[in-house]
Amino acid sequence: MPPRLLLAGPICCRPGEARNLSSFDVFYLSIMPTTDGSHDKTLAALGVTRPEQLAFLFAEIRARFDSESGAVRDETAFKQFRDAWLGRKSGVLAGITDNWLKPATPELKRAVGAGLNELRAHVDAQIESRRVVIESGAEETALAKERVDLSLPGVVRPIGSRHLIRQVFQEIEDIFVSIGFSVVEGPEIETPYYNFEALNIPEFHPVRDDMDTFYLELPKSGPGPLLLRTHTSPVQIRTMEKQKPPVRVIVPGKVYRRDNPDATHSFMFHQIEGLAVDTDITFCDFTGTIEYFVKQYFGPSVKTRFRPSYFPFTEPSVEFDVSCIFCGGSGAGPGGATCGKCKGSGWIELFGAGMVDPAVYGFVNYDAKKVSGFAFGMGMDRLAMLKYGIDDIQVFFQNDVRFLKQFP
């Protein structure tokens, strides 16, 4: 048994060592289980000489009883517990009777008797109620309820997947990264300068009318007009401002135009822009890069062609077509009908592109005589729709799980 400690001024004394123990109301320290076995010793050996000291001893014994009682869960443990406290020869209560009560001084006897009676009443009542609980099997039932059945299947939490647009971007990114492009992104809120002027689209240029732009409503004292970018092309300018040639980047992102939603239009859609500028980039590099991408994305059997077109920031500008992936370029649909996807032409419009207009280099301090390059802008939603046979752009934005689940 560890020594009992009490507070005696600045130092701790062992029972019996403090000569004037009986004249103090002592604070015993309850930092150790000091009553363990205390019933086997006489009160004199425990250093108890005054009735006031008994209250602490009995309280400690009672606390120990309560804590042991709470741990009893089955019949075997209950019997051991009951004998340990009520056993005629070696039980705790018998020990208190023999060692504390019988040899007690007349001064202490009355208090010991009262404390013992109180403790016995408590012990008897508790042991009886414990017996009822154990015998009724209630404890086992409660235990069985608490038991964790590790063989039960766990809770399956549904995990989503990457959105198809995101997956398509990943595919496109992998293709371009494999040939030396890197990915850059830019702001979705732009100034007219980056969205138009620096791309060779001055104010009052008719192309601006096609873009039905969303301007932001701002206080007059604000930073000047801002708009939701109508294409990812501003990032070309921002990239060239920061970086000298060679530049090889792709720019994915959301763009905004005031289109009414239908199967092929949305006021928000996804573009992926490409830009390559270096000292010796030719039109052949341009068409070769596009052809490589298209074959990687749609498969080696598709063909590409380009037609002249017009964009303010490229010169010459072209429109790329891919041989129809639904009819294999034959223009024939099922059952001898014309292919509905390419309307019998065998070709599907893919995206616009071209050699960067030398005027654009003037905005970014590139020497138009030394550098050349190409740019392209693809609709990511359109590329996804073509490859995965989706005929309505709106399904990308409706978040219908039945649609999303098809592209895990």
Which residues of the chain form contacts with Zn ion (CB under 5 A)? 324, 326-327, 339, 341-342
Quote the tokens at residue 214. Answer: 């969303």
* Residue among 247, 225, 213, 242 at smallest CA distance from 373: 247
Minimal distance, residue 346 CB to Zn ion, in Å: 6
Minimal distance, residue 386 CB to Zn ion, in Å: 11
DSSP E strands in 267-365: the ranges are 268-278, 304-311, 314-323, 347-356
* Residue among 404, 23, 387 at smallest CA distance from 169: 387
Cα separation, 140 vs 209, whole angstroms: 80
The helix/strand/coil state of 224 is coil
Rank residues 91 and 344 by Cβ distance to Zn ion and give the closer one: 344
Minimal distance, residue 342 CB to Zn ion, in Å: 3
* Residue among 125, 105, 89, 94 at smallest CA distance from 54: 105
- Contact (CB, 8 A) for 228 and 213: yes
Minimal distance, residue 299 CB to Zn ion, in Å: 15
Rank residues 261 and 389 by Cβ distance to Zn ion and give the closer one: 389
Distances (CA, A) of 239 to 74, 265, 367: 76, 29, 16
| Helix (H) / strand (E) containing 372 | strand 372-379
Rank residues 273 and 321 by Cβ distance to Zn ion and give the closer one: 321
Rank residues 49 and 330 by Cβ distance to Zn ion and give the closer one: 330
Rank residues 8 and 332 by Cβ distance to Zn ion and give the closer one: 332
Task: Identify the residue whose tokens are 């608490």.
Answer: 146
Cα-Cα-Cα-Cα dihedral sign, residues 224, 232, 379, 174: negative
Rank residues 187 and 331 by Cβ distance to Zn ion and give the closer one: 331
Rank residues 324 and 378 by Cβ distance to Zn ion and give the closer one: 324
Sorted by sequence, the CB contacts under 8 Å of residue 179 that are 6+ apart come out as 289, 292
Minimal distance, residue 333 CB to Zn ion, in Å: 7
Count CA within 13 A, CB hemisphere, residue 395: 16
Minimal distance, residue 396 CB to Zn ion, in Å: 22
Minimal distance, residue 303 CB to Zn ion, in Å: 13
Sorted by sequence, the CB contacts under 8 Å of residue 340 that are 6+ apart come out as 333
